[in-house]
Every structure is written in C-alpha cells, then in structure tokens.
Structure 1
C-alpha cells in the first residue's frame, strides 16, 4: 500500500500462542486445489477487497477538502486536525481488541457490524450540520474501520489456504488498498471542486451499502469454538496505550512536540503498553499470547511492516511539500504525480505474489526494503528548482517496492498461525500498519518543516529514511534467515 498524504500540512493517519487452540470453525474452501481462484472465491475476494478499499479511501479522500470543509462547518485551522484525528484514534486504537473479539465471537458477524456502523457514520458525516456532528461521524467511521480491517483480513486468511492462493489474495488486496489511498487523493480534489466536500463522505456511504448487500450471502463465518474468556485487563491497557500513542504522535505531526499534552499522552501510552506486557504474562487467556510474539515470523514481519509504512508515509509527506512549496506545482499536478505512483503500485501488486512464490515471503520482504531504500536515495538527486520528472519516477519505483514489502510482511506474519488466532495475527498486522502510518511523519517528517530551508530539511529526512530502511533490511534478513541450514 502506498501511504496517504495531503496537499496541505494537515496529516492523516493514512492494509500473531500458548498451546495451539482448537481450529476455527472451518470455512468453505474457495478452491478445490491448486492456485486458481474459483468464481465464488473471486466474489468473496471482491467483497473483502472492496471493504478494505473503502477504508483506504477514507484515509485520504477528505484531505484536500479540509480547507473548504472548515469554512463550511466553522472549523478553525487549529481544529481541522480533529477531522483526521477523530478517525485515526479509534481506527488504530481498537484494531487489536476487535481482531481478538472476532476470533472469539465470529469474524463475519463483526465484519458486518463494522460495515453497518461505517455506513451510518459516513451518512452522519455527509449530513453534518455543525462541527460536533461531523466529528462524531468521523469517530464512528473510525470505530467501523477498526471492526472492518482486522475481521476482513482474518476472513481472507482463513478463507484462502496458506500457499499460492493466500499470497495471490493478499497481493490483490494490497494492490487495491494502495489504489484506495491514491484514488482518494485524486478523487477528493475533483469531487470537492465539482460536487462539494460532502460528496466525499457520500461516496463512502454508497460503497458501504454496496458491500453490505453482497457480504452476508458470500462470506463464510469462522471463529474459535473454544471461546476462551476475553482478557479484559489486557484489552483496557493495550487499547488505552494505543489511543494515547496515536493521539500524541498525530498531534505532534501537526503542531510539533512543544505541547505538554503531546508528551503527557506519549508517556501515558508507553506506560500503558508496558503494563499490558506485564498483564499478558499473568493472564490465563491473554489477549496477545507472548509465545506468538516470540515467533520470528510474527516479530520480524511486523517490524518490517512498521518500517515500510512509516518510512513511505514520510517520503510522501515531504515530497508533497517539495513539489508544492519548492517547485510550486499546483494541487492538481501534485495529485498527478501520486496518481502515477498509484498506477505503478498496482502493477507491482500483480507480480508480488509470483515473486513470493519463487523466492519466499521472507526474502521478498528483505529485498523490497532494500529496493525501497535504493529508490528513496534517488530522490536525493532532485534539485531545488527542478526534478519533478525524476521525483515521479523515483517515488513510483519506491512505491512498487513498498507494496512488495506490504504483501510479503502480511504473508510472513500470518503463515503458520492456527486459524483460531488468525484474527489476532491480522489484528497485529493492521495495528502495525496504523502505527506505522502515524509515527513516520512526526518522528522524521517534522524535521523538514523546522529547518531554515525546506529543501535542506527534505534532503535530511530522505537521508534518514534511507538509513532506517537499510538497517531494518539487514536486521530482518538476519532475524528471518533459515537457521536449519546453519545446523548442518
């Protein structure tokens, strides 16, 4: 997935055991064998991907509409951030909890609940009559997204068996997720100029309704039949910790680290997550089993996902500033640059599963991180007064590698995980995605806006981005290497 961006400086947030539990309720196999999708399997995949596309669209479609929206509803510039934060807080903070609840009580049931909530919330945002009603709609959209994303991903991984079919399904899902972000950036500007900002929220309402009509008959139900008790202390501490962490970092991306509430919530988030780790060691039915986190594929795969999302979101952010403020490109021409990026990512998505089939998900993840670093380094060659074409080519190539990393880290993390814990595994995958989208810009992107020269700041951020990707690629390559070969 290429990450979301803005045409202004307002940022948006943005696609896992103790003893193995009993297998989840079996879902109808989408294909009798081989690596070809049957007609019904294609319909199932369409529904799941359409829902993920809708959520990705929501991350970016509103960005360019924020100034117009603010004037219409009476939101001041300092309050516009809440149009983004109100969505990102629940969508990221509740992912892990809802993924686990889906394991216990039914993934399809929670997926459909999320669609209903998302559709109603989008309608509320469309019809909003004041700031409070609009922000309430955005917060409910975030809750709906937190239900849809992990349950949709776990339905995908439990419906499509591990191997070529799952890799192909994840490849298609990742491609459409990438297109959702890109289409949102381009479509948001067009719809706002022609139909008004409310049309962007109306589009989401219509999409949710279409998916909701198709999903009940097509999707299988699956759950863990043992239904262990929900780890309430773990749920409270991890959800509170994630909410505090996402709030602090998304606020810092807008206003910097000078505010007291940024540091206060950042500290609270770290403390709550530390308490969560202690709680999980004592819980008889932990929300996140520590043995699962000790799986090399889960730990290193999620680190890879965190790095690729955070570093690509930073590149997109600083490149937007460079194109608009240094090269003085219009919002429309800037959108075209990222439109090319989205098309190239879609092309990459059609080949990613083939690459994974040939060299494996682990090697694909490492190679993709190195490729993302290499093409990000090319961006260092752009000049202060020229380089739009080079920037377009380089960011498109980096995005192709980024998509390869997204798909391969999803395959890596979910491989070998029992069906009864797929909701937890995919909850970790999507939580990593959300946190990655959130932390990159405040940790690195803010350097571009605080230096005397924006151009020098952009180059500094790009250089740090490359360094992080290279170091991560080396460490993940060592962490995921096949140890059996060394025992010969």
Structure 2
C-alpha cells in the first residue's frame, strides 16, 4: 500500500503534510458551509423559483438524504478503488452540481442539484477524512489534524448561515451555489500534485446486499425523522419510514455477519472504541445543530432579529468552535481521549443548561452569546474526541470505513437533532419561549448523558 506522505517520528508536520492538511481542510470546510448556506435564503429561493411553502424544506432534506444515506457506501468504495480517485470524482461532482444549482430555473432542477451536492458530500467527506487520517500517525499529529478539521467543519456550519445571508442580501441566492465552483476547481487542480493514491493491495468483492440494506435503511431513517419534524411523531408516513429504516438496519447487521466480504465487518462494529465513539459523535452533532435551530427560533420569534442578524449572532458560536478545535489536541494530550470527551460534553451541558434562563428582554442576548461561545468550545473538544476514538486502533486499510462510519454518524446526528428538538419544542409550546426552554433542557440532558459515555466505554473494555 502506498501512503500519502512520509511519516515523521517527531511531533512536527512535514511540508508535504502541511500541504495535504490545507487542501483537505479547505474542502471539508466548503462541504460544511454547503449544509447551512441555503437555510437563510430559503424564503427568497421559494419566491424566485415558485416553491410552495410546504416544499421549501425539501431544499435542505434532499441534500441531507443523499449525504447521510450514501456516506457509508462511498467510504467503503474509497477503500476499495482509491481514496484520491473518489475524492477527485466527488469534488468534480460538487463543482458541476453547484453550477447547475446556481443556474436552476425550476424547483425540480434545484432539487436535482441539491441531491447531487449531497452525493458529492457523501463521496468527498469520508474519502477526505481517510486521506487525512492516513497522512498522520496515531498520536499528537493526528489529534491536531482532526482538531483543526473539526473546528473548521463546525465553523463552516455556523458561518454558512452568515455567508448565505450576506450573499443573498448583497448579490443573489444563486451565489450560495456559485461560490463553490472556483473552490472545487482549485482543489481539482491542486490535488493531483499534493495527494498520493491509497488503496489496499488486494481488492475484495463489493458487498452489494449489505450496501443496499444500509443505504435504504439510512434513507428511510433520515426521511422519517425529517417527516416527523414537519408533521409530528404521530404522522403515519413518518412512523412507517422510521420502522422501515430500523428493520433495514437490523437486516444489514445480519447480512454483514454472513457476508464473505462485508461492507462493515462485524468485528469493527463490535470494538468498544468504534461503538461508543460513534454514539458520542451522534450526541455531539445532534445536540449542537439542534441548539442552533432552537436559538434561531428564540432570536427571530422572541427577540425579533432579522435572518442576517441571527446569522451574525452565530458567528460567536463559530469562534468558540474554532477555539475548541485548536485546544482539543492539547486537552486530549493532557487528559486522555476519554476524559477530554467527558470534559467537552460537561462544558457543553452546563453552557446549554444556562440558556434555560433566557427571557424576552433584549439584554438576554449577552447570555446567549456567552453560552454559545462556551458551548461551542466544549462541543468541539467532544467532536475531536469522538473522531480520535472512532478512528483509532484500526489499520490504514480500514480508515476509509472508519471515517465513513464517523461521517455517517455526523450526518445522521445533524439530520435527527432538529426534528427531535422541534417536536419537543412544539409539544411544550404554550409560548415560543416556553417551548424553546423545555427543548433546551432536554438538549442539555442529552449532552450530559454524552459525558457519561467514556465511563461506559471503560466498563465495557474491562
């Protein structure tokens, strides 16, 4: 097997590793921005292309379905056919689909472009993360690389709202698509000179039954969660999709136990670091992205902020995540991965719980800014701890699979957090503020449960 760069024995990066890091971090940041850049622009897009109000959520859902449903499959394909090759294919698809989205003249064309963007994300994200982890050995260098990657990705989620608001207000919503095109082109031109191919020496057969079961199961799960967030968890179609998704994922487990060349070897799923690490990642992404949704409701419906002002307020959260990503490797080096994970979740839980004190006066914005800044730091420490945990102890030949699992966890967490918290807020909503506060307390409780995962993992390992 070839590797991407000579691995130094010291804790200092080589110049080749720095180039790899810059290229991959830039692409991952762009993918994170894509997830949220259109949220602020949805009403304008609806008016411009003739979307009905009830159809607007499909602009986000079409992206999320493809990104979450196909991530694990493409992570494994990257292991089998070459990570750099898949990375380049995904970046090309992202550039073309972004151009098509910016030029779209009807709702149907825009939704096709969003599905293609989601597929590109499902290709590029696990391939890029696998290239990142195989470029740096386990230890401080990999923790530092994953910390920077996590910080930029989380910052991308929050800055996407700011960038989307600015582009929509100053230019047009179409520039939320067009902005990807030159970045994708630059990555495609630079990647062949910076990245070296990496693939197993022997290519096993593709597990088609397993791929079909897990992809269909994840698509049904994401659709069911999105439907439940829109119509409530009593909706028959949403419940049916959730039940079908659960049944398909259970079937996937049994298929993998008997497959000669499984898509996800059961031995990997049975490893405590993979299982508990991905559970921690699910909580980390579900709680923080849904908190952004809850605070959007608070800022716009209670304090009366505009969409652009709301996006700018989340810039403070973005700063917290960047700082958390920078600090995470040091925290992990000093406390160890498990304790760092618990500390990150603990800080996030306390910061989130403090938001239950929010009131209707304009002065409460300062509590929101302070709490989201501190919570962003804690959340990013937890995310880096999750990535280090979920990708450690595995050979390079399985890094695409491990990062595919981690990326799938990320996408499902992002997708499921908002509908769950939306349903909680709606059920408790005497007033908007009351519903938000109840959902914030549930969010904090889930985050606190995440802080207990390292103890559970230790107990399982003993």
TM range (shorter): over 0.9
- Residue in 1 that maps onto 2:378: 401
1:458 pairs with 2:441? no
Q: CA deviation at 1:316?
A: 1.2
Within the alignment, does 1:141 sit opposite 2:117 as a pair? yes
Residue 211 (structure 1) aligns with:
187
C-alpha distance in structure 2 between counterparts of 1:128 and 1:324, whole Å? 29
1:171 to 1:295, Cα distance in 2 relative to 1, 3 A: same
Q: Distance in 2 between matches of 1:186 and 1:161?
A: 35
Does the aligned pair in 1 maintain the 2:352–2:371 contact within 8 Å? yes
Whether the 8 Å contact between 1:116 and 1:208 is mirrored in structure 2 is yes
CA contact (8 A) 1:362 1:409 kept: no
Out of 378, 388, 391, the position equivalent to 2:365 is: 388
Structure 2 residue 409 is the aligned partner of structure 1 residue 432 = yes
Shift of 1:354: 1.2
Q: Out of 329, 353, 361, which is 2:337 matched to? A: 361
- Work out the CA distance in 2 between the residues paired with 1:356 and 1:279: 37
Single out whichever of 457-466 and 227-236 deviates more from structure 2: 457-466
Which has the higher mean CA deviation after the structures are superposed, 27-36 or 360-369? 27-36
Q: Match of 2:449?
A: 471
Cα distance per residue 1:341-395 (max 9 Å; x no partner): 1012112211111111122222211111111111111111222334111011001
Q: Distance in 2 between matches of 1:256 and 1:116?
A: 38
Q: Among residues 136, 141, 165, which one is paired with 2:141 in the alignment?
A: 165
* Comparing 160-169 and 447-456, the one that deviates more: 447-456
CA distance in 1, matches of 2:174, 2:235: 32
Contact kept, 8 Å, 1:300 with 1:480, in 2: the verdict is: no
Q: Are the counterparts in 2 of residues 448 and 461 from structure 1 also a CA contact under 8 Å? A: yes
Distance change >3 Å, CA 337–CA 480, structure 1 → 2: farther
Instruction: Give the TM-score taking structure 2 as reference length.
Output: 0.97
Give the aligned partner of residue 237 of structure 2. 261
Which of residues 101, 105, 117 in structure 2 aligns to 1:125?
Answer: 101
- What is the alpha-carbon distance in structure 2 between the residues aligned to residue 184 and residue 217 of structure 1? 29
1:69 deviates by 0.8
Moved more, 232-241 or 437-446: 437-446
**1:147-172 CA-partner distances (Å, limit 9, x unpaired):** 00000000101111111111111111
Number of residue-to-residue matches in the alignment = 460
Indicate yes or no: 2:335 matched with 1:372.
no
Say whether residues 1:443 and 2:436 are aligned partners.
no
4+ aligned runs moved over 6 Å, structure 1: none
State the Cα distance separating 1:30 from its structure 2 match: 4.8
CA pair 213-405 structure 1, distance change in 2 beyond 3 A: same
Secondary structure in 2 matching 1:288: coil
Deviation at 1:38, TM superposition (A): 1.9
Which residue number corresponds to residue 126 of structure 2?
150
Distance, in Å, in 2 between the alignment partners of 1:148 and 1:177 is 13
- 3-state DSSP of counterpart to 2:192: helix
1:295-337: CA deviations, max 9, x gaps? Answer: 1111111111011111112211111111111111222322222
Once residues 212 and 458 of structure 2 are traced to their aligned partners in structure 1, the CA distance between those partners, rounded to angstroms, is 32
**Unaligned segments of structure 2, at least 5 residues:** none
Residue 303 (structure 2) aligns with: 327
Alignment partner of 1:245 out of 217, 221, 226 = 221
Residue 258 of structure 1 and its aligned partner are, at CA, apart by: 4.4
Distance in 2, Cα, partners of 1:477 & 1:445: 30
Paired with 1:231 and 1:446, the residues of 2 have a C-alpha distance of 37
TM-score (norm 1): 0.92
Cα distance in 2, alignment partners of residues 111 and 326 from structure 1: 43
Q: Secondary structure at the match of 1:63?
A: coil
Using the alignment, how far apart are the partners of 2:384 and 2:40 within structure 1? 28
- Indicate the residue corresponding to 2:63 in structure 1: 87
Q: Does 1:180 align with 2:163?
A: no
Distance change in 2, residues 1:458/1:475 (3 Å): same
Given the alignment, which residue of 209, 213, 228 partners 1:233?
209
State the 1:88 CA deviation: 0.9
SS at match of 2:394: coil
Q: CA deviation at 1:482?
A: 9.2
Post-superposition Cα deviations, 1:254-299, rounded to whole Å, max 9, x if no partner, equal 3333433212211111111111111111111111111111111111
- 1:14-58 residue CA offsets vs partner (Å, 9 max, x unmatched): xxxxxxxxxxx1314355221111222111111111111111010
Q: Aligned pair 1:53/2:29, yes or no?
A: yes
Output the CA distance in 1 between the equivalents of 2:113 and 2:9: 44
